[in-house]
Amino acid sequence: MGTTLKAQTGAEIFGTTSVAMVTPFTSTGELDLDAGRKLASHLVDNGIDSLVLAGTTGESPTTTAEEKIALLKAVKEEVGDRARIIAGAGTNNTRSSVELAIASRNAGADALLVVTPYYSKPSQTGLVAHFTAIADATDAPICLYDIPGRSGVPLHAPTIRQLAELPTVLGLKDAKGDFFEAAPLIRETGLAWYSGDDPLNVPWLSVGATGVISVIGHVAPRLLREMITSFEEGDLARVREINANTIDVLARQQAVLGGATFAKAALRLQGIEVGDPRLPVVPATDSQIEDLREDMRKAGVL
């Protein structure tokens, strides 16, 4: 299985234009599978070729394993093979992560996104052991998720090189933003590299990233897809135009509101109801919504 996977491109395994999808809730805060199906179908219909479920924007800290698997099954059934379904399976507990990885693969996940364990601040040796245990538990392709601003611990370059030798570790979502370190790693490891920070999408593509895992793609899926396609076709003028007029405008709102709050409020303004975030994340205030509405108009998505 590992050899077969290594023969595929990162785009074939993880896609190029991915959205870290929100987890929809009802007005009473329960999981809303119907809304999840509709949102997933809407995103894929508008050019998104990969959906990451149960990530940070999917409110993984405040959803149960049962809810994660239920949403995964519903989305997989809805979109089928039209998009890659990547399940967030990382926690700060290796045993729980292994269990979630196995359950996600059995539920139909095409691949796994595994975040660096948070809060515990393990050593680099501990990180290798953690990711190796998850990789040994399932045949699913794995995309590492390096986000030290949330986890407290970065993946160091030697650690990334070591993990890239595992047969099913095939990608990395980068929310660290160290281009000087990453550029040679992209070449040396052969990992499919993904921008994990929308304002840095274009710089990441320029140094060899395979694609993006976006939050802004919730409300600008067609433009995000066009930006990636334009880059692949060498139309850098169009890339810069979309990035400046849409991505950067919306990224400012995301920075203020946070990913889940931004995405859920923005989708609501577009007529797509996915509920409010769960505490401790709170919904946007009335004044924040008005600011968001104005910027969405400027960005051409409302």
The model's pLDDT over 149-194, given as tens digits with 9 standing for 90+, comes to 999 999 999 999 999 999 999 999 999 999 999 999 999 999 999 9
Which tokens belong to 195?
Answer: 């921008």
Confidence of residue 7 (pLDDT cuts 50, 70, 90): low
**Does residue 1 carry a pLDDT above 90?**
no
User: What residue type is 219 in one-letter code?
Assistant: V
What whole-number distance in Å separates Cα of residue 64 and Cα of residue 121?
A: 23
In the predicted model, what is the mean pLDDT of residues 44-67? 97
pLDDT reading at 282 higher than 70: yes
Of 74, 104, 106, nearest to 89 by C-alpha is: 104
Residue 10 is predicted with a pLDDT of: 86
Q: Measured between alpha carbons, how far is residue 17 from residues 105, 109, 120, 280 in Å?
A: 21, 17, 32, 29
Pairing outcome for strands 50-53 and 84-88:
parallel
State the pLDDT confidence band at 254, using cuts at 50, 70 and 90: very high
Residue 232 pLDDT greater than 80, yes or no: yes
How far apart CA 83 and CA 211 sit, in angstroms, is 14
Confidence check: pLDDT of 2 > 80: no
Res 8 pLDDT > 90: no
The pLDDT score that the predictor gives to residue 30 is 98
Segment 37-48, tens digit of pLDDT: 999 999 999 999
Is the per-residue pLDDT at 6 higher than 70?
no
Residue 101 has pLDDT above 70, yes or no: yes
Does residue 258 register a pLDDT over 80? Answer: yes
pLDDT score for 14: 97
| Residue of 192, 197, 228 whose CA lies nearest to 214 | 197
Contact present, 108 and 36 (Cβ < 8 Å): no
61 SS3 class: helix
For residue 55, the tally of other CB atoms under 10 A from its CB is 30
Instruction: Check pLDDT > 60 for residue 78.
Output: yes
Q: Decide if pLDDT at 134 tops 80.
A: yes
Burial string for 231-248 (b: 16+ CB within 10 Å, else e) reads beeeeeeebeebbeebbb
User: Which residues form the catalytic set?
Assistant: 145, 173
Q: What is the pLDDT of residue 70?
A: 98
Adjacent-strand bridge partners of 143: 113, 171
Q: Are strands 192-195 and 169-174 parallel, antiparallel or unpaired?
A: parallel
pLDDT of residue 9: 79
**b/e code 142-165 from CB counts within 10 Å (16+ = b):** bbbbbbeeebebbbeeebbebbbe
Rounded percentage of the chain residues whose pLDDT exceeds 70 = 97
pLDDT attached to residue 4 = 61
